[in-house]
């Protein structure tokens, strides 16, 4: 039997207050689960009340969409489905193409892999600087008109770009990395979302696992995407693990886990924020979802704020090549790789 979670609104969409980011079931992080374990986790997420599932054409070069397509589409009416285009496989490699032709092609491929004729929320995964945002959004508008897309989203884009896109067609949600240690949306994006009635989806809400106690002094396995991120490399890693230890102290005071404290902190920031933690572990999923019902005292949440004030975290969040594809504002003085 499916249970219910508190809900939040993303534009006209109503979703569980905490969704599921599906990327690490097929992509980027190690170790990846077996197909059977991934399928069981997805079905369990539905059973315990998750109604918002986030995937992308990029993840596993389509493998993640195929996973969702074969696993949960028999319960299509029970959840909101989100996927993304622009970042995808091009000639066997990760590529960026925001042209209308590429967006149309990737959308068709995503529908086929997902075994559906409709994606509820479809994002531009990144801004392609070679293509005006108006042209990329226009391609999605045609998808809306054809009934293949329900709503349009943007990922890792600045307030200025959001406003340009919104002038072409209402934007339903903006997705950006947001956690106590990555607070770039606070520069301008959250205010733009509030002004335009756009929902905000927070990916990597527990600091890519480090703020959930999932990374130790040894770092991450070879081949894990985080290994190329400066915050997970020496000398930055030791400093950031010290911050995580202090966060654990606050979580212990609150009687919750580190991950739950991060998620509760995010939910307290604005009422239109929906975090989408990812996990390969069923118990961790249940732990994450329990944060939707936590009511932590404001002074303790303020101490999380202070612990991760600007400049507290060591190292840029992305290596130089990945940062070049990020349009979201930087903090004044934020380090770049």
Residues 61-73: tens digit of each pLDDT: 999 999 999 999 9
Task: Return the residue matching tokens 């390969």.
Answer: 280
How confident is the model over 103-143, as pLDDT tens digits? 999 999 999 999 999 999 999 999 999 999 999 999 999 99
pLDDT at res. 83: 98
* Any domain includes 238: no
* Any domain includes 59: yes
The rounded average pLDDT for each run of 10 residues, N- to C-terminus, in the chain (337 residues) is 87 97 95 96 98 97 98 98 95 92 97 98 97 98 98 98 98 98 97 98 98 97 95 97 98 98 98 98 98 97 97 95 94 86
Tell me the CA end-to-end span of the chain in Å, nearest whole number. Answer: 48
What domain range includes position 50?
7-209+267-296
Residue 122 is among the residues annotated as catalytic for this protein: no
* Any domain includes 30: yes
Q: Residue 150, SS3? A: strand
pLDDT at res. 2: 66
pLDDT at res. 90: 86
* Any domain includes 151: yes
* Any domain includes 2: no
pLDDT at res. 337: 73
Which CATH number does the domain housing residue 116 bear? 3.20.20.100
Extended strands (E) in the chain = 7-10, 13-16, 20-21, 52-54, 80-85, 87-90, 93-96, 119-124, 149-155, 173-177, 199-203, 273-275
pLDDT at res. 93: 87
Catalytic residue, from 29, 59, 122, 123: name it.
Answer: 59
**Total structural domains within the chain:** 1
């Amino acid at each position: 039997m499916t249970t219910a979670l508190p809900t939040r609104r993303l534009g006209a969409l109503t979703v569980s207050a905490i969704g599921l980011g599906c990327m690490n079931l097929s992509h980027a992080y190690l170790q990846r689960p077996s197909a059977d374990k991934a399928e069981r986790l997805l079905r369990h997420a539905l059973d315990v009340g998750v109604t918002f599932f986030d995937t992308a054409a990029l993840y596993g070069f389509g493998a993640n969409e195929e996973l969702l397509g074969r696993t949960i589409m028999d319960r299509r009416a029970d959840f909101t489905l989100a996927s993304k285009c622009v970042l995808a496989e091009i000639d066997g490699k990760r590529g960026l193409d925001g042209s209308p032709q590429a967006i149309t092609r990737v959308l068709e491929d995503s529908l086929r892999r997902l075994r559906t004729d409709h994606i509820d929320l479809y994002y531009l995964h990144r801004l392609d600087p070679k293509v005006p945002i108006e042209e990329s959004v226009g391609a999605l508008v045609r998808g809306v008109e054809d009934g293949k897309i329900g709503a349009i989203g943007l990922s890792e884009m600045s307030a200025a770009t959001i406003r340009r896109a919104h002038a072409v067609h209402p934007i339903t949600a903006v997705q950006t990395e947001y956690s106590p240690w990555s607070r770039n949306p606070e520069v301008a994006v959250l205010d733009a979302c509030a002004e335009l009635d756009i929902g905000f989806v927070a990916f990597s809400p527990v600091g890519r696992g480090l703020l959930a106690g999932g990374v130790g002094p040894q770092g991450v396995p070879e081949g894990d995407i985080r290994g190329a991120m400066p915050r997970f490399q020496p000398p930055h890693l030791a400093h950031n693990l010290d911050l995580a230890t202090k966060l654990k102290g606050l979580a212990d005071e609150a009687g919750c886990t580190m991950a739950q404290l991060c998620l509760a902190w995010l939910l307290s920031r604005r009422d239109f924020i929906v975090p989408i933690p990812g996990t390969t572990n069923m118990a961790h999923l249940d732990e994450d979802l329990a944060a939707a019902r936590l009511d932590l005292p404001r002074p303790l949440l303020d101490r999380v704020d202070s612990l991760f004030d600007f400049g507290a975290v060591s190292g840029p969040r992305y290596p130089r090549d990945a940062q070049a594809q990020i349009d979201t504002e930087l903090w004044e003085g934020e380090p770049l790789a």
